[in-house]
Structure 1
């Protein structure tokens, strides 16, 4: 009986491997990887807008313009800095940011925008034990008076660009500050306002000792999002997965009956 069981396990393993290879080949037919600018490989689940409809997922569609890959989040454009297919992450940066000290983010985005918002997450979903954060916030705050606190860094370097186009602040002087990391409600002083929240995955050595140039570097570096959820839901969305499961079960039953007939 041990010999028959061993033969069954070997046969089942071969069948599953063959089915996986056949299913994968069928799913990826005519779906070669694409490229755009600094992103040399764009493949499932990502796709370029001009790719065939059956290649990649619409939720992960990228746009290639001026040899730059971009992704739209909340209708806002972000440039793709890197895609890591081993860690299931994509790194993005605001499209308005340039490699100079004058560019500035145009819109807010924080991890609260991604709560229950498939298909991306700000947490490393491959680490099921503690779900570490992939990105952390950078908060820009303004006040009508100076704030003396080691928690905030003065950002007069940025204020002309941001407030020159903001009519609500044109009649009064605003003092601007930045904070890396989480900010509590109690940290916001009276009459102060949160003007912008962005994210970064820049590896700060010491968040209590940061320069404005390092903050700008962190904005250009961008922030990471996990797309690991697509792997979890893959078989729920793909007909070929359902067919694969049915085929494996049928093959297992047939193999069992076949070996049982040999031992009888």
Structure 2
């Protein structure tokens, strides 16, 4: 089922795109605060401050918009606390900021397969998780970098923190943390030059943080029209990349979910990378502990 004639498509024709700084063509689902309320969606309202396009205009909880890609329904965000020329700059531990983002965006998007298949598109992850944690003892690992020296001198010498602080872009589950270690903050990156097999360094960590991350609004904005269930052995999946090709596709329950990262596709018997849920899972655990 194609959803070409939809309210958001019709609404977009009636609104003139806005611009702020280098971000042009701000249109549905986004709108500026100065735009008419019938344009865009209230959950995707942006503000224009000092020639910067801002998502979540709260003074202590916001991200700067680097780009909006309407072809694949992604937005590129950067943390304002990460300064490009300051290698030791780290994001604030604002867990609520990411909770708000992940209620409106996904950390994955769909990409079409080049050849005909029962699976018309596959989900690909947009982000890697960056975890900053502290331990009372030293850790020696090629994919973990010590950033204790990046702590503010007054904070480090005040006695409030004793031990070692580390950062990693490798996958990290709660079970990986040894007794006495605790997670301080989590962030995301879509830095394309990230190499999970290379030794981590403070410079590579900074480049990843400074690049920022990309999120997708496709699933949250365009897929409400697809019914969740159509029968005992099938359900409806929403596929596409942008507002021009939203489709509801019936999927058989022959698809067996194995875990968070892989699933088997019907009839093709190939494992395809699935949605990365580690960030949201760890974030929920951190909120429960706080």
Same fold? TM cut 0.5: yes
Please list every run of 5 or more consecutive structure 2 residues that lacks an aligned counterpart in the other structure.
113-119, 228-290
Aligned twin of 2:81: 96
The alignment covers a number of residue pairs equal to 213
Contact 1:79 1:92 (8 Å CA) reproduced: yes
Cα RMSD for the two superposed structures: 3.4
Pick the aligned partner of 2:133 from 111, 117, 141. Answer: 141
Aligned-residue offset at 1:235? 9.2
Contact 2:12 2:27 (8 Å CA) reproduced: no
TM-score (norm 1): 0.69
Answer 1 or 2: which has greater strand percent: 2
Aligned twin of 1:213: 203
Aligned-residue offset at 1:195? 0.5
Stretches of 4+ moved more than 3 A in 1? Answer: 23-27, 108-115, 125-130, 164-167
Please list every run of 5 or more consecutive structure 1 residues that lacks an aligned counterpart in the other structure.
1-16, 237-264
Alignment of 1:107 with 2:93, yes or no, is yes
Aligned twin of 1:258: none
Contact 1:114 1:121 (8 Å CA) reproduced: no
Alignment of 1:34 with 2:22, yes or no, is no
Structure with higher Rg: it is 1
Aligned twin of 1:175: 164
Shift in alpha-carbon separation, 1:24–1:180, aligned structure 2, 3 A: closer
TM-score (norm 2): 0.63
Answer 1 or 2: which has greater helix percent: 1
Give 1:94-243 correspondences, 5 Å limit. Answer: 94-101=79-86, 102-108=88-94, 113=99, 118-125=103-110, 129-160=121-152, 164-165=154-155, 170-207=159-196, 208-229=198-219, 230-233=221-224
